């Protein structure tokens, strides 16, 4: 596992950005721990904004992967099928309340792209999801430090 303290100390907010972007796009990594560690070195507003921008860009990446053909490469993927059922059942609420969950959030975002959800709507709902989730992480991180 990557030494997160070293990553944050050496690369600063860029290290946090890189970790969060990967976590919200193609490579699942921890998000909570690096955010909390970053609060030891940087102010909470900077940490929150960097995490929010990185998470949003990571989700946009997944949305476009879904939009431009994830099904061509993985037509029988069980996680995608499960996410599609959830998305069809809960629609927009799935984006707001479930995209931060490990193992189900990324497939739901891929499905949003696959089903051609309007981009502005996806961006709005996924940003709302990230604001409250990342805000909670930063809040609890502040309590720790």
Q: Write the pLDDT tens digit of every residue in 106-116.
A: 888 888 898 88
At 34-73, the pLDDT tens digits run 999 999 999 999 999 999 999 999 999 999 998 887 666 6
3-state secondary structure of 99: coil
State pTM to two decimals. 0.87
Q: Where are the alpha helices (DSSP H) in the chain?
A: 4-24, 32-41, 44-67, 70-73, 78-90, 92-98, 105-114, 119-144
CA-wise closest residue to 131 among 55, 57, 74: 55
CA angle 122, 24, 56 (to 5 degrees): 45
Q: Tell me which DSSP letter residue 104 carries.
A: T
Contacts of 97 (CB under 8 A, 6+ apart): 90, 129
């Amino acid at each position: 596992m990557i030494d997160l303290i070293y990553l944050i100390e050496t690369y600063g907010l860029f290290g946090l950005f890189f970790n969060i972007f990967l976590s919200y796009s193609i490579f699942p990594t921890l998000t909570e721990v690096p955010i909390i560690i970053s609060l030891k070195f940087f102010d909470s507003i900077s940490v929150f904004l960097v995490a929010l921008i990185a998470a949003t860009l990571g989700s946009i990446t997944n949305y476009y992967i879904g939009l431009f053909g994830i099904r061509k490469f993985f037509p029988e993927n069980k996680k995608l099928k499960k996410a599609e059922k959830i998305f069809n059942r809960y629609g927009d609420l799935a984006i707001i309340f479930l995209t931060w969950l490990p193992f189900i959030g990324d497939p739901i975002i891929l499905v949003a792209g696959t089903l051609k959800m309007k981009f502005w709507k996806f961006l709005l709902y996924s940003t709302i999801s990230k604001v409250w989730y990342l805000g909670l992480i930063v809040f609890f991180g502040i309590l720790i430090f």
